[in-house]
Amino acid sequence: MSGAGPAARPTAPMPSALRRGLDSWLFQLRGPQPGPIVLGHRKVFILPSSHGVIYFLVLMVMLAGSINYTLSLGFVLTFLLIGLGLNAILYTFRNLASLRVSALHPQPVFAGETAQFRLRVENPTRVDRVGIEAIPKLGDTVTFGVPMNDESSVALRMPALRRGRLLLGRVTLQTRFPLGLFRAWSYVELDATCTVYPQPETPAQPLPLPGGERGEGAASSSGNEDFSGLRAYQAGDSTRRIAWKADARGSGLLSKVFTGRADNHLWLDWHTLPASLDVEQRLSRLTRWVLEADEQEAAYGLRLPNETIDPDTGPGHRAHCLRALALHGA
Amino acid sequence: MNNGALDRRDIAWMTLSMALVTLPHAERLPLWISGLAVLVIGWRLYIAWTARALPRKWLLLVLVAAASGGVYLSFGTLFGRDSGVALLVVMLTLKLLEMKNLRDAMIVIFLSYFVVLTEFLYSQTIPTALLMLVGVWVVTATMIGLQSHNSAMRYQEKLRLSGKMLAQAAPLMLILFLLFPRVQGPLWGLPRDAFSGVTGLTDSMSPGTLSQLSLSDAVAFRVQFQGDMPKPTQLYWRGPVLWYFDGMSWHMGITFEGNPPSYSPGGASVSYTVTLEPHDKRWLFALDLPAKLVPNSRFTADFQMLSNTPIRQRTRYEMTSHTSYRLGYEGLTGFERRRALQLPDGYNWRARALAENMRRAARDDRDMMEQVLGMFRTQKFFYTLTPPLLGEHPVDDFLFNTRSGFCEHYASAFVFLMRAAGVPARVVTGYQGGELNPVGNYMIVRQSEAHAWAEVWFEEAGWVRVDPTAAVSPLRVESGLAAAVPASSSLPLLARGDMEWLRQVRFTWDSLANSWNQWVLGYNPERQYWLLSRVGLDRATWQTLTVILVLTTTLITLVFAFAMLRHLSQRARDPAAVLYRKFCRKLARRGTRREPSEGPLTFAARARARYPNQAAAIDAITDLYIKLRYGKLEGRDAVKELKQRVSDLKV
């Protein structure tokens, strides 16, 4: 399966070929770009908002009233408000133009969690920006402002539904400031990807035994070998192996794990999983095991159908394994 | 944000701006509407501050229905200007109780702008304009607040931005105001009460009509003379001519519009421009006697000038008059004679008897007139603003009992006696006199100058103007009302003679108001035509105007767009860099030029070697600059210090 990005675009009301043409010609969208993207004058679009249309209609009524009653000050007021409306076009446009937008790659998350993308919006101009909305394809709209000669970091939270790569996709930046009569907007499509790890299986199944044995429900039976680490206490663990010192420190009940032979590594192996599990269930279980093994600071290796990661420990190794699980089949 | 709920600050701004734009209406609206507005505003603020729920829909419906019913009861109708405004204010107020999101708030904003417009139905003076400008300013700031409430703009910033945007809209407003093709209204029917409340002369006169009017400071019209001003005793501004007496009041009777009677002018003519305030009647006032017609008007047979439509807006016209003339000397028709001698039966017996006695003693019609005027002059008749009430036979009562009255009493009694003695006579009302404004060099004629006099017809001489008031109080005609009545009288403040400084202030103010009237309020199709012909656009059709309008509007918008967007390409300048460049320039003038490849430190080393006695200063500047530019140092003080050091540097 391919990168489980955001769900397919909502069905466009116009033929997709036309839409693509518009995207590339008018909106200057040519696929994700590394950024920063400058919101140049050609990239910012502006149209009256629904309030702007009502405002215009109210002004027409006021003009008619002024003519009917020959109200000179009515003309003055109406024309002043017309001027104000036209002025609002420039202000609204300026509120968005010339910003520089770039995206940071977000921290990986597990499926079912929320990915947090970060847009960096720089304002190299001498005009404060107020009331700009960033609208991702999925997830909530975020409103922000950027003072002059400053930058803002905008957190866009997007639900990570499936494992794989979550693309930021197109983000609409829009503003109605200052009067709400016009909406200026620009589309940015930045090259930002969040890696979504598979969801860890719950409830957790016990880790397999080191040495490739199946260790369903059993603690390591090895005797007084070399101490290799701690893991959460499981029912059936010998009380002799409980790490009382750790308990006294308030870490909860932990069992000491010993490894007899140096080469007797913990292998998290795709192929040894029950045949009844499907692909996603297998990845889910392996993910949980990676987390557990990492927590116990045990050296573990990962065996996937087309990738094998040698046993190791540490956060780098953990990320490597989880990434392999996330992108399995991609 | 655009579907966002409103926060407290928004609610406070909304109520403030709403209160500001409806406040001037309060003096005209029934008291209960102001009370309702105060209650609703209080209620809405209470809801916002205690985070309670808005009232339920059914309650709102009940309130709306009750308030509409209240408006109907107060005005007797829901249509028309006053009730329409009342309804608008009530609905705007109640909308506050329903307002929960941005959409509602924007509707309140737009309605607020509309309320500002309705204010101009009642008053378009300079103070009103200023007050409403403040209203628009605050309403616009409120609108800005609605769009920015996530970014915590302070109120000064909102007001500043609002003011700036409005100021930038001003040039466009001016262009549109001057060039927008003006059509003479109305486009549709106006409500009947659209022009109620204007003061002025009417088509009838009874005791008290004019003395009531003379209490008003309101301006009737302003006059700009071309050339010399006529003498005060010639300043009779002709208005309604009254023929028919019913025993109590005088009426116009039947008027004949059409062919004006001919008259032969004597002496020079006077040319002037009148700017007439709207009075909702058809009279166009001119000095006795007008020599020409205003466009779209007619003369009546007795030389009233009547506009074809009631004067409902300030009207400006050029006029020429002959202050000495002979009118109607060819003779009277039988019908005219009958009308000029009409008297009601059964009233004022004593006055009739008096007239018959005088008639017998008089040699002729002129002598008869002299006798009546002599009676006013020699016997104890008083001129007063507050005449006592008259009984069932007002002329008798006045001539024999009270003997004190205002101009209408004298004109009425005089014409009565003349008619009773068989001399054709009629009452003419209008204005007498006027006050010269030395600041603007024009004349102001106020309602307090309303006057009534008489015209008597003599064989061969024709109609002759006779002012019986002048017989009683010559000062009234020569120097105005203030001189003619005792100081304790309840004269309008502005008609009094004392307080010279106050008069000066008032003249300046009226002169300003006059220019405002002429150029802002009186800017009509004619003025527009005149202005365009001044810039060489004779015969500009509305098509031409539209083209010019679109072009200039586009031009202005483009200039603004350029100015504003150019702003974007200007990078914010680092003050430290600016100061450092200044430092480099200073040294460059002495011959030590910084090479493009040279860093600040290497440049400093070179400069130090060249100017050893300034080494410390050069080092300090370089150090400060590097710290400000690339280092941790920040803040205004450091920049200040750098600035000080750079300007102190002497090489």
Q: Where are the domains of chain B?
A: 8-147, 204-495, 575-648
- Asked if A91 is an interface residue toward chain B (Cβ–Cβ < 8 A), one would say yes
Which among B264, B253, B267, B343 is positioned nearest to B302, based on CA atoms? B253
| Cα distances (angstroms) measured from residue B324 to each of B302, B303, B381, B531 | 16, 15, 29, 36
Would the CB atoms of A54 and B120 count as touching at under 8 Å? no
- A79 to chain B: closest CA residue: B173
The Cβ-side half-sphere exposure at B427, using a 13 Å CA radius, reads 31
Which residues in chain A touch residue B516, judged by CB atoms under 8 angstroms apart?
none
C-alpha distance from B250 to closest chain A C-alpha (Å): 33
Element (H, E) at B299: strand B297-300
In the predicted structure, residue B31 carries a pLDDT above the cut 50? yes
The whole-number pLDDT of residue B151 equals 62
Q: Give me the residue from A67, A145, A176 closest to B2, CB to CB.
A: A176
In the predicted structure, residue B580 carries a pLDDT above the cut 60? yes
Copy the structure tokens of residue B113.
């702008």
C-alpha distance from A97 to closest chain B C-alpha (Å): 8
Rounded to an integer, what is the distance from CA A227 to the centroid of its chain?
40
Contact B80, B121 (CB under 8 A): no
Q: Could you tell me the pLDDT band of residue B129, with boundaries at 50, 70 and 90?
A: very high
Copy the structure tokens of residue A62.
């006021």
B2, B4, B9, B15 alpha-carbon torsion, rounded to 10°: 80
In the predicted structure, residue B406 carries a pLDDT above the cut 90? no
Task: Supply angle C-alpha B274, B280, B283, rounded to 5.
Answer: 50
The whole-number pLDDT of residue B423 equals 92
Q: pLDDT per residue over B341-359, tens digit each?
A: 998 887 888 899 999 999 9
- How far is residue B451's CA from residue A42's CA, in Å, rounded to a whole number? 72
Which residues in chain B touch residue A178, judged by CB atoms under 8 angstroms apart?
143-144, 147-148, 161, 165
Q: How many helices (H) and strands (E) does chain B have?
A: 23, 18
Which residues in chain B touch residue A82, judged by CB atoms under 8 angstroms apart?
169, 172-173, 176
Q: Is B451 a catalytic residue?
A: yes
A294, A295, A299, A302 alpha-carbon torsion, rounded to 10°: -30
Q: pLDDT per residue over B207-233, tens digit each?
A: 777 777 777 778 889 998 988 888 888
Best probe of the A interface among B107, B115, B118, B148, by most A CBs < 10 A, is B148
Would the CB atoms of B177 and A65 count as touching at under 8 Å? no
Rounded to an integer, what is the distance from CA A52 to the centroid of its chain?
34
Q: Could you tell me the pLDDT band of residue A151, with boundaries at 50, 70 and 90?
A: confident
In the predicted structure, residue B560 carries a pLDDT above the cut 90? no
The whole-number pLDDT of residue A3 equals 36
Higher pLDDT, B550 or A219: B550
> Out of B409, B451, B510, B584, which one is annotated catalytic?
B451
Would the CB atoms of A149 and B572 count as touching at under 8 Å? yes
% pLDDT > 70, chain B: 90
The chain-wide mean pLDDT, for chain B, equals 84
Which own/partner contact pairs does B522-529 have at CB distance under 8 Å and 24+ positions apart? Answer: B522/A72, B522/B275, B522/B314, B522/B316, B523/A72, B523/B177, B523/B178, B523/B182, B524/A70, B524/B182, B524/B184, B524/B313, B525/B182, B525/B183, B525/B184, B526/B316, B528/B178, B528/B179, B528/B182
A112 contact partners, CB below 8 Å, separation of at least 6:
A160, A161, A199
Q: Could you tell me the pLDDT band of residue A240, with boundaries at 50, 70 and 90?
A: low
SS3 string, B113-140, reads: HHHHHHHCCCCCCHHHHHHHHHHHHHHH
Chains A and B: how many Cβ contacts under 8 Å?
181
Q: Could you tell me the pLDDT band of residue B492, with boundaries at 50, 70 and 90?
A: low
DSSP state letter for B440: T
Q: pLDDT per residue over A261-306, tens digit each?
A: 445 678 888 888 888 888 889 999 999 999 988 888 888 899 888 8
% pLDDT > 90, chain B: 25
Contact B204, B251 (CB under 8 A): yes
Q: Could you tell me the pLDDT band of residue B530, with boundaries at 50, 70 and 90?
A: confident
In the predicted structure, residue B431 carries a pLDDT above the cut 80? yes
The whole-number pLDDT of residue B415 equals 93
The whole-number pLDDT of residue A84 equals 95
- What single string gives the DSSP state of each residue in B470-538? HHH-HHHHHH-HHHHS-TTS---GGG-S--HHHHHHHHHHHHHHHHHIIIIIT--HHHHHHHHHHTT-T
In the predicted structure, residue B525 carries a pLDDT above the cut 80? no
- How far is residue B133's CA from residue B124's CA, in Å, rounded to a whole number? 12
Residue found by looking up tokens 């003055």 in the block:
A76
The complex scores an ipTM of 0.74
Would the CB atoms of A82 and B176 count as touching at under 8 Å? yes
The whole-number pLDDT of residue A12 equals 44
Q: Could you tell me the pLDDT band of residue B639, with boundaries at 50, 70 and 90?
A: confident
Q: Give me the residue from B143, B520, B561 closest to A72, CB to CB.
A: B520
Element (H, E) at A290: helix A279-295
Which fold would CATH assign to domain A18-47+95-197?
Immunoglobulin-like (2.60.40)
- Asked if B244 is an interface residue toward chain A (Cβ–Cβ < 8 A), one would say no
Copy the structure tokens of residue B42.
């209080």
The chain-wide mean pLDDT, for chain A, equals 81
Q: pLDDT per residue over B37-83, tens digit each?
A: 999 999 999 988 888 888 888 998 999 999 999 988 988 887 888 88
Q: pLDDT per residue over B594-630, tens digit each?
A: 876 677 888 888 888 888 888 888 888 888 888 877 6
Decide: helix, strand or coil at residue A165.
strand
Would the CB atoms of B185 and A178 count as touching at under 8 Å? no
Contact B615, B640 (CB under 8 A): no
Backbone angles phi, psi at A97, to 5 degrees: -65, 150
| Cα distances (angstroms) measured from residue B506 to each of B483, B497, B520 | 19, 12, 20
Report, as an integer, the average pLDDT of B292-310. 87
- How far is residue B71's CA from residue B87's CA, in Å, rounded to a whole number? 7
Q: Is B467 a catalytic residue?
A: yes
Which residues in chain B touch residue A38, judged by CB atoms under 8 angstroms apart?
none
Report, as an integer, the average pLDDT of A188-200. 90
Would the CB atoms of B165 and A84 count as touching at under 8 Å? yes
The whole-number pLDDT of residue B490 equals 57
Report, as an integer, the average pLDDT of B529-553. 81
Among A76-80, B182-186, B436-440, the range of highest mean pLDDT: A76-80
Would the CB atoms of B107 and A69 count as touching at under 8 Å? no
The whole-number pLDDT of residue A68 equals 84
| Cα distances (angstroms) measured from residue B456 to each of B202, B255, B374, B424, B616 | 22, 18, 16, 6, 105
Q: Could you tell me the pLDDT band of residue A181, with boundaries at 50, 70 and 90?
A: very high
> Out of B365, B407, B409, B584, which one is annotated catalytic?
B407
Backbone angles phi, psi at B325, to 5 degrees: -165, 165
- How far is residue B601's CA from residue B588's CA, in Å, rounded to a whole number? 16
Sheet holding B219-226, edge to edge: B286-287, B236-242, B425-432, B450-458, B462-466, B315-327, B263-276, B219-226, B442-446, B435-437
Would the CB atoms of A80 and B114 count as touching at under 8 Å? no
For chain B, the residue count is 651
Would the CB atoms of B2 and A180 count as touching at under 8 Å? yes
- How far is residue B25's CA from residue B142's CA, in Å, rounded to a whole number? 21
For chain A, the residue count is 330
The whole-number pLDDT of residue B646 equals 87
Which of B3-17, B213-227, B496-510 is the least confident region? B496-510
Would the CB atoms of A145 and B151 count as touching at under 8 Å? yes
Backbone angles phi, psi at B420, to 5 degrees: -65, -25
In the predicted structure, residue A137 carries a pLDDT above the cut 90? no
Higher pLDDT, B210 or B493: B210
Q: Which positions 8-67 of A are in contact with B (Cβ < 8 Å)?
A: 41, 51, 54-55, 58, 61-62, 64-67
Decide: helix, strand or coil at residue A264.
coil
DSSP state letter for B571: B
Q: Which positions 353-412 of B are in contact with A (Cβ < 8 Å)?
A: none
- How far is residue A167's CA from residue A6's CA, in Å, rounded to a whole number? 7
The whole-number pLDDT of residue B624 equals 85
In the predicted structure, residue A213 carries a pLDDT above the cut 70? no
B92, burial (CB in 10 Å: exposed 0-12, middle 13-18, buried 19+): buried
- How far is residue A92's CA from residue A180's CA, in Å, rounded to a whole number? 8
In the predicted structure, residue A11 carries a pLDDT above the cut 80? no
The whole-number pLDDT of residue A175 equals 93
In the predicted structure, residue A214 carries a pLDDT above the cut 60? no
The Cβ-side half-sphere exposure at B26, using a 13 Å CA radius, reads 13
- How far is residue A141's CA from residue A135's CA, in Å, rounded to a whole number? 5
Report, as an integer, the average pLDDT of B123-132. 90
Q: Are strands A109-110 and A193-197 parallel, antiparallel or unpaired?
A: parallel
Q: Which positions 76-135 of B are in contact with A (Cβ < 8 Å)?
A: 102-103, 106-107, 110, 113-114, 116-117, 120-121, 124, 128-129, 132
Q: Where are the domains of chain A?
A: 18-47+95-197, 210-326
> Out of B10, B365, B467, B510, which one is annotated catalytic?
B467
Q: Give me the residue from A54, A97, A133 closest to B568, CB to CB.
A: A97
Q: Could you tell me the pLDDT band of residue B131, with boundaries at 50, 70 and 90?
A: very high
Amino acid identity at A117 = F
| Cα distances (angstroms) measured from residue B148 to each of A92, A123, B106, B157, B322 | 12, 18, 14, 11, 67
The whole-number pLDDT of residue B392 equals 81
Which of A184-188, A275-279, A307-311, B520-524 is the least confident region? B520-524
